[in-house]
Chain A
Amino acid sequence: MASFGFRGTRIELGPGESALDALDRVGIPLKSGCRSGVCGACIVRVTKGTVPADARRGIAPVLTAQGAAFACCLRPTADLELDDLDGGLEHRARIVALETIGQDVLRMRLACEGNFDYTPGQYVVLQRDDGLERSYSLASLPGDATLELHVRRTIGGAMSSWLFDGARPGDGVGLRGPLGTCCYTPERQDGPLVLVGAGTGLAPLFGILRDALNRGHTGPIQLFHGARDTNGLYYRAELLAIASAASNVTVRGCVLEGPTPDPSVRVAPLGDAVASVFPNLAGCRVFLCGDGSLVRSLKRRFFLAGAASRDLLADPFDAAALPARKIAAGPCN
């Protein structure tokens, strides 16, 4: 009978037992829910061995590429090594550059020790050496020399204050990741993509947009960047450069407070700006990134406007907390 290692223990599987059954039997706690390969509570990572197809049906491709599997459906016929979904993803990195790229927006470039493979749109947990941790989405592409993160200065923010005022190139940090599933997948490549970002929510979209183009997306891509006022619409030149080089890309800025010297920037809330172009979002794949409560409310609004739940990928930024991650895409979305 097959066995698996998990959290330092080797467990033999009994006949017909799933990994979850076996863990329950030996008293190792693993969260579970439906126990039927639907809810995603018991997803683990297979770090050595092959994942049987029926143990990963419905899990986001970004996660299955990292070995994700439902413990409740995992009945392997050969030995495996398992880890928690976000276990064993610790890295060390060095700050290479810190540059202001907009009002209260800092671009941080990091060089990771060793190989760091990720899909654009994923995020990392940045760890200062005293243990302070915050999550930031990746704005870079895996082929780039460094990892790129965008940081907003938050008033009284412990991590952002350090990054803006204390951190220096050469400083070492810890990184956990990559985590998250707000990523482009190369299917339905002639379909419409809608990228919606508030403030530094542009960071993962900047990676996702270029990733989609690099992977041959031919359908129309519309990117909406929202900010309080025009000072908050950073990276405008970079976005317009991408739009002028790719005929299927349109970028739109919108602000809550005018005036806007640029006539192509609307004064409108982000959700309204999207709704005026897409009153119905059926058939669109939507990527939604930025402030957590705005993202959650727009996600609901776009769902009610016809976007399929599996086509609504969100990266909600929550203050001083790790963002809830979406475990599964596709059937379990």
Chain B
Amino acid sequence: MTQLFERLGGAPAVDAAVDLFYRRMLADPRVAHFFEDTDMDAQIAKQRAFLTMAFGGPHSYTGRDMRAAHAPLVARGLDDLHVDVVIEQLGASLAELGVDAATIAEVAVIAESVRADVLGR
């Protein structure tokens, strides 16, 4: 477990954040359309895995996984704006949970690190 993940509170922190984050995504008109036909359980599981990674926790994502998973979305217009929204909403969710700005910035750096793979660059 990395220091960041530990500082954030580990798996319980992911539990606390995932609903807040996913509700924000569903309610945000800039990205909500990407979630229209998705199964909520499957999405929550994916968001949980994503948050675990962004919090510095254990994961097995490869660049290829991120590329392949997001390619259909890229074909539907996924671009930098949407990645910006994810990072913004992730930060807002953590702020709502009382996490300090410096720690939020560390999480943002990790989330930012997958931008190129997500967008297939």
The residues of A with any CB-CB pair to B shorter than 8 Å are 33-36, 38-40, 57-58, 296, 299-300, 303-304, 308-310, 312, 314, 324, 326, 328, 331-333
- Can you show 8 pairs from A to B with CB atoms below 8 A apart? A33-B49, A36-B59, A36-B60, A39-B48, A308-B19, A314-B41, A328-B45, A333-B41
Known: A34-B60, A304-B27. A333 touches B49 (CB 8 A): no
Cross-interface CB contact of A38 among B19, B40, B49, cutoff 8 Å: B49
Would B40 and A300 count as touching, CB distance under 8 A?
yes
Q: Lowest 5 A-B CB distances belong to which pairs?
A: A35-B60, A34-B49, A36-B58, A39-B45, A309-B44
Q: Is the CB of B46 within 8 A of A39?
A: yes
Chain B contact residues (Cβ within 8 angstroms of A): what range?
Answer: 20 to 34
B18: chain A residues at CB < 8 Å are: 309
Distance in Å: Cβ of A190 to nearest Cβ of chain B = 22
Q: Is the interface of B mostly helix, strand, loop or mixed?
A: helix
Nearest to B46 among chain A residues (CB) is A39
Which residues 15-74 of B sit at the A interface, judged by CB distance below 8 A?
Answer: 15, 18-19, 22-23, 26-27, 39-41, 44-46, 48-49, 52, 57-61
A309 touches B40 (CB 8 A): yes
Distance in angstroms between the alpha carbons of A223 and B52 in the assembled complex: 36
Given the complex of chains A and B, what is the CA–CA distance between A300 and B26 in angstroms?
9
Bound-state Cα–Cα, A33 to B39, Å = 16
Q: How far is the CA of A332 from the CA of B41 in the complex (A)?
A: 9
In contact, A296 and B26 (Cβ under 8 angstroms): no
- Residues A303 and B40 in contact, CB atoms below 8 Å apart: yes
Give the contacting residue for B19; candidates A58, A309, A326, A332; CB below 8 A.
A309
CB distance from B43 to the nearest CB of A (A): 9
Judge whether B40 and A296 touch: CB under 8 Å: yes
Please give me the residue from chain A that is nearest to B11 by CB atom: A331
Q: Is B45's CB under 8 angstroms from A38's CB?
A: yes
Decide if A332 touches B52 in the complex (CB within 8 Å).
Answer: no
Residues in B neighbouring A57, C-beta threshold 8 A = 11
Choose among B23, B58, B61 the residue that contacts A304 (Cβ–Cβ < 8 A): B23
Q: A296-B39, A300-B40 are in contact. Are A36 and B23 (CB under 8 A)?
A: no
Q: Which residue of B lies closest to A58 (CB)?
A: B11
Other than A303-B26, A314-B41, A331-B12, give 8 A-B pairs with Cβ distance below 8 A.
Answer: A38-B45, A38-B49, A300-B40, A304-B27, A309-B18, A312-B40, A328-B45, A331-B14
Given contacts A35-B60, A36-B49, A333-B44, contact A324 B19 (CB under 8 A): no
- B48: chain A residues at CB < 8 Å are 38-39, 331-332
